[in-house]
């Protein structure tokens, strides 16, 4: 799994890039500061307008070129460069499945379009494949 847009469960210092331990974030009611350098702490996520981490995106592109099946789940498929991954998979011969509540630009090119909520469709797919969804064991 690649965290292309980061992980809200992590934070880091914008000045020295040091990770901020979760224990330092508990109970914080004002803007948190780094214990090492005093810089501001922010969530380790990519906000709109920010660049995706290049190394992670390169790994995602490589995976899209090499996969046999690609799932595009719950996305508008219009925010690039992340939206390009499904098209890369298509260009390299992968079977592309789109799962979304609405049609997107990708819908007409996907091999299979599953319309609905991912939280309902994914558990059904897992059970059809004989896999017990997490939390239902």
Phi first, then psi: give them for residue 113, nearest 5 degrees: -120, 120
Query: Domain map of the chain by residue range?
Result: 6-45, 54-128
Tell me, what's the pLDDT at 135? 64
CATH class of 6-45: alpha beta
Point out the catalytic residue in the list 5, 10, 42, 109: 5
Tens digits of residue pLDDT in 26-45: 777 888 999 899 999 999 99
Which tokens belong to 114? 């599953």
Active-site residue flag, 33: no
Tens digits of residue pLDDT in 51-72: 999 999 999 999 999 999 999 9
Q: What pTM does this model have?
A: 0.78
* CATH architecture of the domain with residue range 54-128: 3-Layer(aba) Sandwich (3.40)
Q: Kindly state the helix (H) or strand (E) to which residue 44 belongs, with its residue range.
A: strand 41-45
Name the percent of the chain lying above pLDDT 90: 72
């Amino acid at each position: 799994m690649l965290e292309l847009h980061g992980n809200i469960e992590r934070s880091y210092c914008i000045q020295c890039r040091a990770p901020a331990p979760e224990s330092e974030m508990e109970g914080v009611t004002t803007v948190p500061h780094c214990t090492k350098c005093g810089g501001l702490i922010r969530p380790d996520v990519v906000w709109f307008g920010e660049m995706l981490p290049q190394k992670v995106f390169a790994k995602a592109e490589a995976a899209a070129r090499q996969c046999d099946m690609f799932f595009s789940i719950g996305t508008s498929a219009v925010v690039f460069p992340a939206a390009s991954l499904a098209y890369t998979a298509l260009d390299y011969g992968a079977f592309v499945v789109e799962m979304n509540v609405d049609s997107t630009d990708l819908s007409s090119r996907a091999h299979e379009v599953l319309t609905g909520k991912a939280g309902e469709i994914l558990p059904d797919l897992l059970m059809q494949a004989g896999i017990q969804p997490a939390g239902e064991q």
